Amino acid sequence: MGIIETIFIGVGLAMDAFAVSVCKGLWMSRIDWKKSFIIAMYFGFFQMIMPLIGFLLGAGFSEWIEQIDHWIAFILLCLIGGKMIKESFGKAENLNDSVDLKTMIGLGIATSIDALAVGITYAFLDTKNCMFSFFLIGVITFAISLCGVKIGNKFGNLYGRKAELIGGLILIFIGVKILVEHVRIV
């Protein structure tokens, strides 16, 4: 695969991370660049490492991974989305802009499950320079996620709790969409 194809793959894989980054930005009362970089780093890291894991697993485990990846993403995104919806009905000053390890690892995994499948595809195709491709995917996701946090923060400051409610619904929608797409294929 060439660099152009890798860029398109990177942008496509980054869309879930972008949506979740927007939601994390909603939780910030004002833009916090340190937290924004942490969020982007988690998403970029997971989008880089998951294809590598998929590549290493290769064809031997592909059927098993494909059978559960959609369930993992669905459960994680619905739990986080449900928490956002619940918090949208709470006090406006209790914004949760936490970037704690547990939350960010859960979000990182949930948004990069599809990258695992891409890594398996790279193994099937015996793609050369896959390490550079995985690195580029991570960098693209980092940049898109950083923009997502800023966009979410701007939107959240304008619309407050309604934006958080919508963000939670979007995360649940993404989880349901992932589940429906995979169940329909089977």
Query: For the residues 49-77, what does the mean pLDDT come to?
Result: 76
What confidence tier does 52 reach under pLDDT thresholds 50, 70, 90? very high
Q: What sign does the CA torsion over 13, 22, 36, 89 have?
A: negative
> d(Cα 3, Cα 135) in Å, to the nearest integer?
12
Residue 91 has pLDDT above 60, yes or no: no
How does pLDDT run across 107-160, given as a tens digit for each residue? Answer: 899 888 878 878 877 776 656 778 999 999 999 999 999 999 999 888 766 665
For tokens 């996620």, name the residue: 145
> In the chain, what percentage of residues exceed pLDDT 90?
24
CA-based angle 71:127:133, to the nearest 5?
70
For tokens 């990846």, name the residue: 69
